Structure 1
Amino acid sequence: MEKMNFESKDIKVENIKKIEEIFPSCITEIKDKDGNFSKAIDFEALKQILSGNLAEGIERYEFTWPGKNESILEANRPIKKTLRPCKEESKNWDITENLYIEGDNLDALKLLQESYLGKVKMIYIDPPYNTGSDFIYDDDFKEDMDDYVENTDQVDEEGNRFFQNTETNGRFHSDWCSMIYPRLILARNLLSEDGVIFISIDDNEHANLKKICDEIFGETNFITILTRKTKTMTGDDGNGMNIQHDYVLIYSKTKNILKLNGDKKSFKDYSNPDNDPNGIWTSGDPSAKSGGPSTYFPIENPFTKQIDYPPKGRYWAFSKDTLNTYINNGRVKFKKTKKANQRGFIFKRYAKFIEDNRMPVNTLEFSDNIYINSEGTDEIKDIFNNNYFSYPKPTSLIKELVKISTVNKETILDFFSGSGTTAHAVMQLNAEDGGNRKFIMVQLPEETNEKSAAYKAVYKNICEIGKERIRRAGDKVLEDNKDKDGIQNLDIGFRVLKVDSTNMKDVYYKPDEYNQGFLDEMVSNIKADRTDLDLLFACLLEWGLPLTKNYVLEEIQGKKIHNYDRGALVACFEENIDEEIVKEMANKEAEIVVFRDSSFKTSADKINVEEIFKELSPDTSIKIM
């Protein structure tokens, strides 16, 4: 029976496992101050294996800034936090497969490492552009920064660093780099092998973001940089330039297996003048760039006796044997009359045999006016009858990015979700093409300005705007597509989860701090304000189960039993459960069962549970909390 520790994934341990798989001789054991042993890397042994390829002590290309090392450590550092479900703020809780996570995205990304590792097909983010007035997250990536921050009035009464990163700050670019770096490390872990990330940015941090992404995703996985038109106004930006664009950086997880989807090919130039049984065709180029002696030969027209060779420096796209097959099946058709400067035969390309029925994505497409900022502003006004959000991206942009990178059932993540444009775009695209894509939105509950229209309209933070936008947008998408077959199955809901402290009480106290009254309070190691649903979702995170599956709440002899995803996890958080209840749970043959530590009166009761499961469901893993 294993006790759950409810701590986010320790990426450092996972990285050591990966190195062990490649270089097992470089793994050793170390003992900590408490005498516990753990695996570690023998860097001297690793250096010997990699000798000749070490960059230590020599000049080398690198990109760094003050606080970079700490930001790397922060990405790997586990946290004792959880995601608490909030049904009352959700929509279609029982049936939706979408998520809205409220809280710092660094925490959220760490908490998602188990449940969504390698399962996200597409990520879009629109992080702060670092213009000097946009929001900076409350990260502290340098140990000696505390005094600096306090002395420059960059902390609130509780010591949190919520401030505007103005250019007068000596760490203007460093703070931004340290903010984005660990988040992109964690985001890469969540991408599937054929996944792709799109990042909106402008000139302020474009160069730094490119270098960071080259380091995290690899230069070889860089796809391109899209230039998006942002406005049509012709005013001077103060330097004699009228800047009407920003950028979208694109990186893949694994470039050689990524395939983006352009528009479907047009077959308007195809026809079937000779009633070919293979259908419509067009005349194609029969030559190829590469080949050899078997694909370089003369072709004689039997009617006109014209002889053709491949164009200079090229080869035929077929051998002599294949040519005879093409002649017999009509794919090569000889002309009856000779015409100057023309081949003596037609090489047919059939529409039906074109496997890749997609055009390449045209990067200049994003200079169209449908992608400008005012389109996003108009959408907010249309939904709320007021402008409650500054500079929202238009759904047209996100929808096109989702369209070219996903097909049907994939998961899309946006961890700077703002007003919820990405969720809106996913629902729109699903309505248009019948897809079943899922979204995960993450947003920090940044407070709205007390003088703003949003605040006066009861939206006290950005999350309240985002959630309400998704609710209204989903209803609008349904209404706009009400005549479409199957539209009633469109998922316009979302489960709200909020980042919070662990469900478990802090049990680390000095011996002299204990007294009888204190011990009485420690009967339960779970915080008093936590519900069964809180505990259930903590278990899902611990075991790496998806957070959007349905579950059934059952009652056995008056005790609540949670059956998640048809037996993937069965939990009972009640106290004083008896043998009959345990047998009923064992008969479900779940992959995992979870009990509270306080569910058992004595150690003998725990042993009895293990014996019951050994007999009735030996493959079930038993956990306690």
Structure 2
Amino acid sequence: MPSLTWIGKDAVLNHHLDVPYRVLEKKYTFSSDDSLSCHSERSEESQNKIIHGDNLEALKSLLPEYEGRVKCIYIDPPYNTGNENWVYNDNVNSPKIRKWLGQVVGKESEDLTRHDKWLCMMYPRLKLLQKLLHVDGFIAISIDDNELYNLGNVLDEIFGSANRVACIPVLTEPSGGKSKEALRIGHEYICVYVKKEFKGLKYESKNVEGRVEHDEFGEFIRGRELSKWGSESLREDRPDMWYAIKAPDGTDVYPYRNDGKEGRWRWGRKKSKMIEILKNPQNALWEKRKYDNGVVVNGQTERWFPYEKIREKEKQFGWNTWLDTIGYNSIGTNELKQIFGEKIFDTPKPTTLIQWIVNLMDDEDGIVLDSFAGSGTTAHAVLNLNKLDGGNRKFILVEMENYAESITAERVRKVIKGYKSDVQNELYSKELTIKDIKRGSEIVKELDNVRDEHKKDYDKFESIIENKCLKLLGVKKGECEGTGGSFAYYELGPELLKDGFINEDVPEQTIREYLYYTETNHVLPQSNNGHPAHLGNFEGVAYYFLYNKDETTTLDAIFLASIPEKADRYVIYADNCIMPQKFLFDHDITFKKIPRDIRRF
């Protein structure tokens, strides 16, 4: 496959491995629940995150908890028009990169410099985003003509050309934009790639197929099982989705899997369809299903099993390749004016566009990540969708600029709690021609008549010219209802490993999470076998971290005797080891010295 080369590429190919791992420090949690809407460490944990800090380091810090878990990534990176004040100057330890990333972005006469610099900035960030993406997930990136082709080549290299879904044109400036060139470009693009599987994307509208059945409420078709299958289908993955549903005979039904393990429902209690089923079991389709051969749960070899009842004739998937009605930049600007009362951010994306992108994700519980968060439109879109359909989508925003708190987080707070909002209605519209301009006094009189007709209905009027049309808008003061929800606000904290040693200012729990991730590529289990040094077991291996920042720890016979359970193999971290190498070999024990053998990722 052809590949793109640029000056400095060799130094950034694996730069993401050299980025220091920093701790995420939670500053506060904000929630629609007044009891949680406080700047307090005692606030309840939220699954939504807003992170202030360099997005490359923030993405690295997300890996232990989120690698392979993010279902939808949307980013709106700098378009590299030649006018940005670059803040993405990574401290790469290479004279070649320092030369290119340390310079001010050039104008068109220095075009090569500008594109090399942009590619050096983007490449390591895309590498980390690819690691965070779920196997069924997708990434969508807004871009314009300046870097479209370079971005496409880099995405082909990182994600694979076979995983390219589409390059979607988006009409952002119906008038063609401000350019005075022969070709006025009023559109941008969204590049969409998947990690591996296309099944995580919604594609098109289609009729619901299946045998039509009837109940007391009318016709329905058997839908999906209410139990979650496949990845993340255990109770421990989503403890809040383990609860009882009443079967037709009045018994409590829990989402046990066919193998007898405790599973989870596909939906939470607050999902609208689940609310109806909890009120009346007949809103689900029930049948008896056997467990796997030899499996007995609570003395039973079979249990009641519920299915969704689909009453809609058609499932809407909303998949267009030219977006000409929902992506106007003016919509995003007006939204921010509604929220803040003034224009405080340049070129924000409209919420409708990001909702369209997020809604391509075929998972109403999925995680959405935006590492170029800007004004916070992505969080706004996620909260809107959750309110509309009862979903439980989560968002993670990363913003490195100082407005992360004053604009990004503040917007999300206002959306969650509600805000004063002017309601605008178009009362008059007229396409202007040269003839109309000549009779300007008549048009002014028409506008005055419309104002007089509606003066009791509106607080004020605004006249605007848009797409060669003169419009009169009636403005009425109003309130925008809050979406509900919550988020936790974080700052990037200290490095976990500094100058080759463990940073003793870092909480031990964070070090344990990091170690377990470096060993297993999985999240540290919430519980262990009771031993204070036990991290967890994975694929037959038991991991132990014998650590005390105030004294030296030693792997010896006393420690080994304290291990309460037998495993196939053991990996034990400690400062020293006095056990003979032959003993360790004979008992399948791997000793790793702190900090020398702690892996950097």
User: What TM-score do you get using the length of structure 1 for normalisation?
Assistant: 0.56
**Whole-Å separation in 2 of the counterparts to 1:474 and 1:603:** 51
Say whether 1:86 aligns with 2:38.
Answer: no
Could you give the per-residue CA deviations for residues 298-347 of structure 1, whole angstroms, max 9, x where no partner exists? xxxxxxxxxxxxxxxxxxxxxxxxxxxxxxxxxxxxxxxxxxxxxxxxxx
| Residue of structure 1 equivalent to 2:527 | 567
Structural mapping, 1:370-381, within 5 Å: 370-381=326-337
**Whole-Å separation in 1 of the counterparts to 2:62 and 2:529:** 18
CA deviation after TM superposition for structure 1 residue 603, in Å: 4.3
Question: Does structure 2 retain, via aligned residues, the 8 Å contact 1:132–1:167?
Answer: yes
Which range is displaced more, 132-141 or 594-603? 594-603
For the structure 1 residues 206 and 616, does the alpha-carbon distance in structure 2 shift closer, same or farther, using more than 3 Å as the test?
A: closer
| Residue of structure 2 equivalent to 1:139 | 90
Q: Give the CA RMSD over aligned residues.
A: 4.3
Question: Does structure 1 retain, via aligned residues, the 8 Å contact 2:22–2:494?
Answer: yes
**Whole-Å separation in 1 of the counterparts to 2:3 and 2:526:** 50
| Residue of structure 2 equivalent to 1:357 | 315
| Residue of structure 1 equivalent to 2:415 | 473
Could you give the per-residue CA deviations for residues 142-170 of structure 1, whole angstroms, max 9, x where no partner exists? 83337746xxxx85xxxxx7x54544445
CA deviation after TM superposition for structure 1 residue 260, in Å: 1.8
| Residue of structure 1 equivalent to 2:231 | none
**SS in structure 2 at match of 1:96:** coil
Say whether 1:232 aligns with 2:188.
Answer: no
**Whole-Å separation in 2 of the counterparts to 1:240 and 1:587:** 64
Could you give the per-residue CA deviations for residues 535-578 of structure 1, whole angstroms, max 9, x where no partner exists? 43343244239xxxx9xxxxxxxxxxxxx8741698xxxxxxxx
Paired amino acid for 2:3: E
CA deviation after TM superposition for structure 1 residue 214, in Å: 1.8
CA deviation after TM superposition for structure 1 residue 245, in Å: 1.2
Question: Does structure 2 retain, via aligned residues, the 8 Å contact 1:67–1:141?
Answer: no
**Whole-Å separation in 2 of the counterparts to 1:496 and 1:72:** 31
Q: Which structure has more helix as a fraction of its residues?
A: 1
**SS in structure 1 at match of 2:23:** strand
Question: Does structure 2 retain, via aligned residues, the 8 Å contact 1:224–1:249?
Answer: yes
| Residue of structure 1 equivalent to 2:290 | none
Could you give the per-residue CA deviations for residues 102-150 of structure 1, whole angstroms, max 9, x where no partner exists? 222222223333432221111101000001122431125683337746x
Question: Does structure 1 retain, via aligned residues, the 8 Å contact 2:8–2:96?
Answer: no
CA deviation after TM superposition for structure 1 residue 503, in Å: 3.8
Structural mapping, 1:234-253, within 5 Å: 237-253=179-195
CA deviation after TM superposition for structure 1 residue 194, in Å: 1.7
Question: Does structure 2 retain, via aligned residues, the 8 Å contact 1:412–1:439?
Answer: yes
For the structure 1 residues 622 and 132, does the alpha-carbon distance in structure 2 shift closer, same or farther, using more than 3 Å as the test?
A: same
Question: Does structure 2 retain, via aligned residues, the 8 Å contact 1:130–1:165?
Answer: no
Among 427, 436, 455, the residue aligned to 2:383? 427
| Residue of structure 2 equivalent to 1:394 | 350
Could you give the per-residue CA deviations for residues 222-252 of structure 1, whole angstroms, max 9, x where no partner exists? 1112121212346651213332211111111
Could you give the per-residue CA deviations for residues 77-107 of structure 1, whole angstroms, max 9, x where no partner exists? 2443322322336655523111222222222
| Residue of structure 2 equivalent to 1:404 | 360
Among 372, 389, 397, the residue aligned to 1:416? 372
Question: Does structure 1 retain, via aligned residues, the 8 Å contact 2:134–2:195?
Answer: yes
Structural mapping, 1:26-105, within 5 Å: 61-75=2-16, 77-88=17-28, 93-105=43-55
Say whether 1:543 aligns with 2:485.
Answer: no
**Whole-Å separation in 1 of the counterparts to 2:369 and 2:21:** 20
**Whole-Å separation in 1 of the counterparts to 2:90 and 2:127:** 15
Say whether 1:506 aligns with 2:499.
Answer: yes
| Residue of structure 1 equivalent to 2:288 | none
Say whether 1:119 aligns with 2:76.
Answer: no
Could you give the per-residue CA deviations for residues 385-430 of structure 1, whole angstroms, max 9, x where no partner exists? 2222111111111111111223211111111111111111111101
**Whole-Å separation in 2 of the counterparts to 1:542 and 1:131:** 42
| Residue of structure 1 equivalent to 2:473 | none
**Whole-Å separation in 1 of the counterparts to 2:45 and 2:419:** 18
Among 215, 220, 226, the residue aligned to 2:157? 215
Paired amino acid for 2:548: D
Question: Does structure 1 retain, via aligned residues, the 8 Å contact 2:170–2:188?
Answer: yes
Paired amino acid for 1:363: T
Q: Which structure has more strand as a fraction of its residues?
A: 2
Structural mapping, 1:313-352, within 5 Å: none
| Residue of structure 2 equivalent to 1:203 | 145
**Whole-Å separation in 2 of the counterparts to 1:618 and 1:496:** 41
Paired amino acid for 2:387: A
**Whole-Å separation in 2 of the counterparts to 1:589 and 1:145:** 44
**SS in structure 2 at match of 1:101:** strand
For the structure 1 residues 398 and 234, does the alpha-carbon distance in structure 2 shift closer, same or farther, using more than 3 Å as the test?
A: closer
| Residue of structure 1 equivalent to 2:324 | 367
Structural mapping, 1:234-273, within 5 Å: 237-262=179-204
**Whole-Å separation in 2 of the counterparts to 1:361 and 1:213:** 22
Question: Does structure 2 retain, via aligned residues, the 8 Å contact 1:134–1:165?
Answer: no
**Whole-Å separation in 2 of the counterparts to 1:616 and 1:117:** 29
Which 5+ residue runs of structure 1 have no aligned equivalent? 1-59, 156-160, 272-276, 281-350, 447-459, 509-524, 551-563, 571-581
CA deviation after TM superposition for structure 1 residue 197, in Å: 0.9
Say whether 1:129 aligns with 2:79.
Answer: yes
**Whole-Å separation in 2 of the counterparts to 1:587 and 1:393:** 43
**Whole-Å separation in 1 of the counterparts to 2:117 and 2:529:** 42
**SS in structure 2 at match of 1:183:** helix
| Residue of structure 2 equivalent to 1:21 | none
| Residue of structure 1 equivalent to 2:338 | 382
**Whole-Å separation in 1 of the counterparts to 2:572 and 2:373:** 37
**Whole-Å separation in 1 of the counterparts to 2:183 and 2:5:** 31
Paired amino acid for 1:181: Y
**Whole-Å separation in 2 of the counterparts to 1:354 and 1:86:** 43
CA deviation after TM superposition for structure 1 residue 66, in Å: 1.1
**SS in structure 2 at match of 1:388:** coil
**Whole-Å separation in 2 of the counterparts to 1:541 and 1:131:** 39
**SS in structure 2 at match of 1:363:** coil
Question: Does structure 2 retain, via aligned residues, the 8 Å contact 1:84–1:537?
Answer: no
**Whole-Å separation in 2 of the counterparts to 1:177 and 1:246:** 19
Paired amino acid for 1:567: S
Q: Percent identity?
A: 30
| Residue of structure 2 equivalent to 1:41 | none
**Whole-Å separation in 1 of the counterparts to 2:535 and 2:159:** 46
Paired amino acid for 2:333: T
CA deviation after TM superposition for structure 1 residue 462, in Å: 3.9
| Residue of structure 1 equivalent to 2:487 | 494
For the structure 1 residues 531 and 243, does the alpha-carbon distance in structure 2 shift closer, same or farther, using more than 3 Å as the test?
A: same
For the structure 1 residues 262 and 481, does the alpha-carbon distance in structure 2 shift closer, same or farther, using more than 3 Å as the test?
A: farther
Structural mapping, 1:512-551, within 5 Å: 526-527=503-504, 530=505, 532=507, 535-544=508-517
Q: Which has the larger radius of gyration?
A: 1
Question: Does structure 1 retain, via aligned residues, the 8 Å contact 2:220–2:311?
Answer: no
| Residue of structure 2 equivalent to 1:171 | 113
**SS in structure 2 at match of 1:544:** helix
**Whole-Å separation in 2 of the counterparts to 1:140 and 1:192:** 29
**Whole-Å separation in 2 of the counterparts to 1:236 and 1:109:** 35
For the structure 1 residues 188 and 569, does the alpha-carbon distance in structure 2 shift closer, same or farther, using more than 3 Å as the test?
A: farther
